[in-house]
Chain A
């Protein structure tokens, strides 16, 4: 079992660009949550996808959007990147929305 996998592991983008991050959940998991973790801070909840729909959303602007595919994998899209979007983006999967979450290794996004 490969666990939760995220790609890419590192990414550098310029202000104003758009970025797409990808997540494959742990085998058998159907729920994917995305978190943003700034340096020295705890993860902040962005949103959760279950049954291909956004079920919950944290306090993030509409520039942050996502998608879940029929195979339960997920994408996080961020438009009009700002310097403040630089962070470690974590994906967590679970078997149903309120069960134990397993985290991927994260994608380190740097906006310059």
Chain B
């Protein structure tokens, strides 16, 4: 069964600190992996997308990495801000069989003063 697991489930950090969120997946064959940011009660917004051949992608203070061999991805947030408080969801698109999206359950990040 295709699965996407994220860790930690929740995280609290101080403003200005860095943090790293993890995503492990079993989806195979693999098409791409996307990290979304979802504010409470809102729809997810895409941060980065990576295909099989890419191992790092940056979007401002967000840097995603991908190791397609071990089926692991991480999202690193630098110099966190209060507005980074949100749920971060890892989403993997499979290849073939309808190319379905498999969502992780998300990491709930809270940035405090």
Contacts and interface: CB of A to CB of B under 8 A. Distances in A.
A42 B89 contact: yes
Contacts of B93: 98
A105 interface: yes
Interface string B71-112: 000000000000000000100010000111101111010000
Contacts of A104: 43
A103 interface: yes
Nearest to B43: A103
Given A42-B89, A45-B100, A97-B99, A103 B105 contact: no
Interface string A93-112: 00001101111111010000
Interface string A44-85: 110000000001100000000000000000000000000000
Of the four ranges (under 10, 10 to 19, 20 to 34, 35 or more), the interface on chain A belongs to 20 to 34
A56 B93 CA distance: 14
Nearest to A108: B41
A40 to B, nearest CB: 8
A88 interface: yes
A98 B31 CA distance: 10
Given A98-B99, A100-B46, A100-B49, A88 B41 contact: yes
A32 interface: no
B44 A43 contact: yes
Interface of A: 4, 35, 40-45, 55-56, 88, 90, 92, 97-98, 100-106, 108
Given A45-B100, A101-B101, 10 more contacts: A41-B105, A42-B4, A42-B106, A43-B89, A55-B98, A90-B43, A90-B44, A102-B46, A104-B43, A105-B43
